[in-house]
Amino acid sequence: MAPEIKYNKLFINNEWVDAKSGKTFDTLSPHDGSVIATVPEGDKAAFHRNSEWRLLDASARGRLLNKFADLFERDLAYLSELESYDNGMVLTMTYGFMSRAVNTIRYLASLADKIQGDTIPADGDLFSYTLKQPIGVCGLILPWNVPILMFINKVVTALAAGCTVVVKPAEQTPLTALALAALIKEAGIPAGVVNVVTGYGPGAGTSLTHHPDVAKISFTGSAEQAAGKVNLKRVTLELGGKSPLIIMDDADLNVAVPAAAYGVFTHQGQICIAASRLFVQAGIYDKFVEKAVEFAKNRKVGHPNDSDTEQGPQIDDEMMNKVLGYINKGKQEGAKLLTGGNRIGTTGYYIEPTVFADVKDDMIIAKEEIFGPVQSILKFDNLEEALERANNTSYGLAAGIFTNNINNALQFAKHSEAGTVWVNNYLNGSVQLPFGGFKESGLGRENGVSCVDAYLEVKTVAITLPKKF
């Protein structure tokens, strides 16, 4: 049974309103392409600084955010179902993500009254100190793959810092951001602190990135940006990856094969940290490939709500066709397709779990982010070679290694050009761990105790002391 769509208007100043233009757009089900709801197409909006939130005691901000966490936990089942309905995430996986989201809210809320400046022993007769103050109005642009987690990461961090926000959810998945806005209001967070504008990148998105009163943009998605064209905005960017996972000869295949599969097939491959370049050492290569193919063939693809489903649909027909196009390019360039590679059925956007072997570094499927259930397996001889090839990319979001040799593990962790390195696991994480990328995978970090710094300006105060007293 489909969840009730309770909110389908813009959320501005704690009120539900239509777009001034009167325009709307549909959000579609990834399962069968049907219309889930019609929502307003936001365009330009007005922004202002809200002194009430800025001047509120930091501890009071934390309490209100914890109230939001309580309400989120109360509505966890509904939010999980709505997220799965809108973006096709397998429901059992969604429940896990939502439980993690509750912990994330509470952790970030706890940082609100931990923001502290420093006293500085400056040269001369000066009493000097720093203040950390909210940066102002923040435009937060969400991706469609994990909308609720990204709403939580960005909104609660900004609010803990004392900022106000305008949220632009992805046009494919606007519904959960609106549902969370209702909980923000119910928690007692003042009007105007959180606003949600649904719409497309051109229009709602560019209004944020071009507006002179927006001090900061936090964006998760593709690399095309407009921030900074009007004023010098602060930015936090998470722009995707082509993450390498190294399997050494001494790895336990009973652990490494499933971990590598989950690393690239989880959420239909629609995760930025997907292990989409799988390097397997020559000594176990053939055996690993055999087990990887068997694992992929046994993976259950089906309706996201079915309890035994492991893989659901891609987000929409555009992404499905993009992934299928990459699969065709892999075949054309000589990679060996061992299983999968086809669309499943004619309704919805389902793709078979796909495994390529004998992939070469210069093939398109080894270079570009596919964002689909496509496992590309490459062969290597030694760790030095694997490191060199793993780092030979413009991306640098995540990396992993499976090995029982501690020196190999430490050397790989030291020399990997990636923001997160996993050893003998993949995809494990929590809100306490900073997350972000090297190189073209982004700027800045989310999560961890320092995440609020991205929403703060540091002000230096230097006071002349009298010569005599």
**Residues recognised as catalytic:** 238, 272
Which positions ≥6 away from 96 have C-beta within 8 Å?
none
Show the tokens assigned to 65.
Answer: 């955010």
| Radius of gyration of the chain, Cα coordinates, nearest whole angstrom | 23
First to last CA, the chain: 77
Residue 301's nearest CA partner among 254, 354, 338, 377 is 354
Token pair 């400046």 in the structure block, residue: 117
Distance in angstroms (rounded) separating the CA atoms of residues 454 and 218: 9
Distance in angstroms (rounded) separating the CA atoms of residues 71 and 372: 33
Residue 6: how many CA atoms within 13 Å on its side-chain side?
14
Which positions ≥6 away from 115 have C-beta within 8 Å?
58, 132, 161, 452, 456
Q: Residue 309: how many CB atoms within 10 A of its CB?
A: 17
Residue 278's nearest CA partner among 195, 352, 357, 218 is 357
Which positions ≥6 away from 55 have C-beta within 8 Å?
none
Q: Residue 229: how many CB atoms within 10 A of its CB?
A: 10
CA separation, residue 154 to residues 141, 169, 270, 405 (Å): 9, 12, 20, 38
Residue 434's nearest CA partner among 107, 132, 139 is 107
Whether 40 contacts 198, CB under 8 Å: yes
> Torsion-angle region of residue 239: left (phi > 0), alpha (psi -120 to 50) or beta?
alpha
Q: Read off the amino acid at residue 143.
A: P
